[in-house]
Amino acid sequence: MSGPTPEKVMQLITGAWAASILGAGARHGLFTALEDHPDTVAGLAKRVGISPRGAQALLDGLTGLGLLALRGGEYRNTPEASAFLVTGKPAYLGAMAEVFLEDFGTSQKLPQAAKTGLPTAVSTADVADNPFWHVLVTAIAPLSFPVARMIADRLGLAVAGNISWLDVGGGSGVWSAAWLGVNDRAIGYQLDWPNVNAIAREFVATFGVADRFKTIDGDFHTTDFGAAKYDFAIYSHIAHQESPSDNVAVFRKLRKALKPGGTLVVNDFVLNDDRTGHPFAMMFASQMLVATKEGFTYRQSDYRKWLSEAGFTSVEIIPTPTPATVVLAK
């Protein structure tokens, strides 16, 4: 039989099922329990403290999704589950799966947001003391860590000597954690809300580099960054929640804060100029529509224009192994 089949459409229609099964599996620690310890339904249910019926349902779903394998009546992690869904591993994405599980209500409001062009949910970007930050900032850190290490190599930070940087809206502090780990003479500064900085200090401490991580409490929209103070500046996963004019304003402040010859590192979900790109980045625009007043997924040409307006004369676009793109500007 030739012609289109409904398989792809059905996969998309049931996408919420897949996200729910994955989020529930992560929350109950199924992948962590199965790492190096394949088990039966009854054995796993007892070890993680859920019902046998519930365990069977989740195990069926996770096996159907290709995250678990069934051999001889025992379930075990596939390589993807072992790499990304076992608690304690550097690339752990299970916490992110739990965040998405809790956020289904926001996504359900997309039809109304598309009609009006206005957000239908309270943006976490606008609320400093939102408890959601305590979950989100560390949940998304594994997405940035490999990018931060890649850019550290690209910039030669390991042999750069006594350097410093300002990470604006740095969240978990993952960029500073990665960079301080490759240069033991560097000092990292992070500007964020006080409660977020507290989370970052705890997170960075787990990497053994807390003594060289400094935090500045404040709102980056209104806080002065200083002049010619830093060798590098970081603006990671912030631009998408801001309006074009706000991004230009921040870029101007960052240009002023950099020493002559300093480099700005922007990390975000960036589309090609024809609005094609990584599927995650392309879908992310809908999340910004629902959750922010003016945020969006922007194009490479947008960043080039804004950075030029802010006084940067050199812009380089660098793809990464993740859904994000890095923009280097001098």
**Domains 7-86 and 111-329 alike in fold:** no
> 111-329 has which fold?
Rossmann fold (3.40.50)
Which residue has 């980056």 as its token pair? 220
Considering the domain delimited by 7-86, tell me its CATH architecture: Orthogonal Bundle (1.10)
Q: Where are the alpha helices (DSSP H) in 85-173?
A: 94-102, 104-107, 110-116, 132-139, 141-155
- Prediction pTM value: 0.91
Q: How far is CA 33 from CA 38, 83, 226, 235, 302, in A?
A: 8, 14, 49, 37, 45
The confidence score (pLDDT) of residue 90 equals 87
Helices 15-27 and 94-102, packing angle to 10 deg: 120
In this predicted structure, the answer to whether residue 78 has a pLDDT above a threshold of 60 is yes
At 268-310, the pLDDT tens digits run 999 999 999 999 999 999 999 999 999 999 999 999 999 999 9
The confidence score (pLDDT) of residue 132 equals 61
| Residues paired with 164 in a beta bridge | 187
In this predicted structure, the answer to whether residue 128 has a pLDDT above a threshold of 90 is no
The confidence score (pLDDT) of residue 136 equals 79
Q: How far is CA 47 from CA 29, 56, 62, 76, 84, in A?
A: 10, 14, 18, 14, 21
Helices 132-139 and 141-155, packing angle to 10 deg: 50
Q: Which secondary structure element, helix H or strand E, spans residue 259, and what is its range?
A: strand 258-268
With a pLDDT cut of 90, the percent of the chain lying above it is: 90
Q: Which of 3-7, 150-154, 253-257 has the lowest mean pLDDT?
A: 3-7
The pLDDT of 8-15, averaged and rounded, is: 94
- Those residues with Cβ within 8 angstroms of residue 218's Cβ, 6 or more apart along the chain or in another chain: 191, 192, 193
Contact by Cβ (8 Å): 240, 298 = yes
Domain ranges of the chain: 7-86, 111-329
